[in-house]
Structure 1
Amino acid sequence: MALVWVNQQQAGTVNPFDRGLAYGDGMFATMRTCQASINESGIALFDVHLSRLQQGCLRLGIQWQPSKPLKQHLLQLASEYPNHCIKLLLSRGVGGRGYQAPTEATITEVTSVHDIPAHYQQWQQQGINLASSSVKLAKQPLLAGMKHLNRLEQVLIKSAPLPAGIDDWLVLDSDNLIVESSMANIFFVKEDEVYTPALSCAGVSGVMRQAVINEMLALGCKINITPMSYTDLACMDSALISNSLIGLINIKRIDDKAFVPWELTPQVVEHLNL
């Protein structure tokens, strides 16, 4: 069972009129804790997670920045629960009339600690298979890239049972452009170049996605951030997914298209220090 804190108070409660509950009016992050010997803060990409949350809040018109007590709370949790997942959820709180947001928000901060799913280690060792979801993501540039609280599209995607032998869904947008998997960003390799979908109209731009891109660039890879059609899969050699909990994982197959493991995956994973 997950451990939960509301505004740094364990077993605190959320107001039933909270705008995060009513409208999905807020942001969240999922962070992986690790041994302090690996990462000084005990949370992988800690500052990047907080910066992305702050940027997302600004895009929603929410004035928030991580307070010193919140940072201390998160670092204490990381110390107590290494190799776990910490989820930090921010909502605009209570107020406003209907959809109209209040002039000044009283932010609700919910933190929780979760186990890392056991099968992630098997995925990392063996790779995974994807199938295309019938649920398409809507295109909304004002929200694209953000990890906001309204994830109903993902709920619909995950509601469908996975076919036998399939580990996750490949998700397209309404124009049949590749966006991501249901839970991670996606990369493709063709000869010596890496391709990853542009996320200007849909999808989540994960902090691990940028970390992976940085490591690929350090290894001398050419990165193409570009719109990608489903038909582009046919000419790709390798495929991978990334998020903050799994790091970087090879994809073995998407639908009927098979991929070979990327030779540089182990080097990128090693440098990510997860």
Structure 2
Amino acid sequence: MHNWPFNLSKQFLINGKFQHISPFDRAFQYGDGIFRTFVVENKKPRHWKYHYKKIAQDCLAIKIKPPKEKELLSDIASLFRSNKKAVGKFIISRGLSERGYKFNKDIVHNRFLIKTKMPSYPKAIFRSGVNLYVCKHKLNPTVLSGVKHLNRLENIMARQEWKSDQYADGILLDSDGNVIECISSNIFMRIGKVIYTPKISDIGIKGVTRELIIKISSQLGFKVKEATFSLNKLLEADEVLITNSLFGVLQVKKIKNISWKHQDSASLFNQSLESLNT
């Protein structure tokens, strides 16, 4: 461990301790596990009850016994000792097994908590919005739709389609050309007072911020509908927004050759998210 370039003992915990990871862990062997990323501010995980709910649901979806909430909170308290805003990421793996897809019924999950710096988002993107790239890679239906499992090769392949910094994220479509999500965020479009977001049924991830936007929209005078819509329909919208747990809500200013002027919805949603910051 002394050859590591920086003090990793302050960067992660495995089952509440700083220790080696085994190559026999099924997360390493097969991507057999789930993960969630969240902001920690003043030693407290933002929107924690929603993140823990997703962690538990995703574990159950792939038949892993969820870790106890108090264990995860104890890990956070141990690793995040500063009031400075940072990023936490929990990985829950099925545990250790020998080679082969089969595992013993008494296998015990492992929990990993990683601490990294909070990204520095330019203030300009909150004022003027961001550009999105339309990915050529198409998403395929899966029985694990909605589960944030560790197999993210489709997202990795799609992210390699552009190299410049001009795009904040890439839009992912299904084989029929319908909008599903972005590589690392969910997407919404506003038409009048109705906000639409892709229906996550057999493809896609249901992010925590997506859930919160659906929850608080009525308070801001909007009606939300989960629907199926094409890229062309998205380009005809009055406004397009993207969401994730780190930056909250951002307005999209350009997709392909279609541009949108600055509007206030993203700011309104971000203010409301701050009031839910528990």
- Under a length normalisation based on structure 1, what TM-score does the superposition of the two structures give? 0.90
Q: Letter of the aligned partner of 1:134 in structure 2?
A: K
Q: Which moved more, 1:114-123 or 1:24-33?
A: 114-123
- Structure 2 equivalent of residue 152 of structure 1: 153
Q: Does 1:24 align with 2:34?
A: no
Percent of aligned positions with the same letter in both sequences?
28
Shift of the alpha carbon at 1:264?
2.7
- Structure 1 equivalent of residue 230 of structure 2: 229
- Structure 2 equivalent of residue 270 of structure 1: 271
Q: Letter of the aligned partner of 2:139 in structure 1?
A: L
Q: Does 1:179 align with 2:180?
A: yes
How many angstroms apart in 1 are the aligned matches of 2:257 and 2:128? 18
Shift of the alpha carbon at 1:248?
0.4
Q: Does 1:49 align with 2:51?
A: yes
Shift of the alpha carbon at 1:143?
0.9
Label 1:122 to 1:99 Cα distance change in 2 as closer, same or farther (>3 A). farther
How many angstroms apart in 1 are the aligned matches of 2:110 and 2:122? 31
- Deviation string 1:35-60 (CA, Å, 9 cap, x unpaired) is 37xxxxx2111111111111111110
How many angstroms apart in 2 are the aligned matches of 1:14 and 1:240? 38
Label 1:145 to 1:187 Cα distance change in 2 as closer, same or farther (>3 A). same
- Structure 2 equivalent of residue 9 of structure 1: 17
Shift of the alpha carbon at 1:125?
3.2
Q: Letter of the aligned partner of 2:158 in structure 1?
A: I
- Under a length normalisation based on structure 2, what TM-score does the superposition of the two structures give? 0.89
How many angstroms apart in 2 are the aligned matches of 1:261 and 1:212? 19
How many angstroms apart in 2 are the aligned matches of 1:7 and 1:177? 41
Shift of the alpha carbon at 1:219?
1.5
Q: Does 1:131 align with 2:133?
A: yes
- Structure 1 equivalent of residue 3 of structure 2: none
Shift of the alpha carbon at 1:96?
6.4
Please list every run of 5 or more consecutive structure 1 residues that lacks an aligned counterpart in the other structure: 37-41
Question: What SS does structure 2 have at the residue aligned with 1:214?
Answer: helix
Shift of the alpha carbon at 1:251?
0.4
How many angstroms apart in 1 are the aligned matches of 2:200 and 2:113? 27
Q: CA RMSD in A?
A: 1.9
- Deviation string 1:50-90 (CA, Å, 9 cap, x unpaired) is 11111111110111232523312213434425311001111
Q: Which moved more, 1:51-60 or 1:63-72?
A: 63-72
Shift of the alpha carbon at 1:13?
1.5
Q: Letter of the aligned partner of 1:187 in structure 2?
A: F
Q: Letter of the aligned partner of 1:99 in structure 2?
A: Y
- Structure 2 equivalent of residue 59 of structure 1: 61
Q: 1:45-124 to 2 correspondence within 5 Å?
A: 45-80=47-82, 82-95=84-97, 98-119=100-121, 121-124=123-126
- Structure 1 equivalent of residue 243 of structure 2: 242
Contact 1:128 1:250 in 2 (8 A): yes
- Deviation string 1:1-49 (CA, Å, 9 cap, x unpaired) is 6611111112x1111111111111111010101237xxxxx21111111
- Deviation string 1:106-136 (CA, Å, 9 cap, x unpaired) is 1111111111221354432331001101111
Contact 1:124 1:246 in 2 (8 A): no
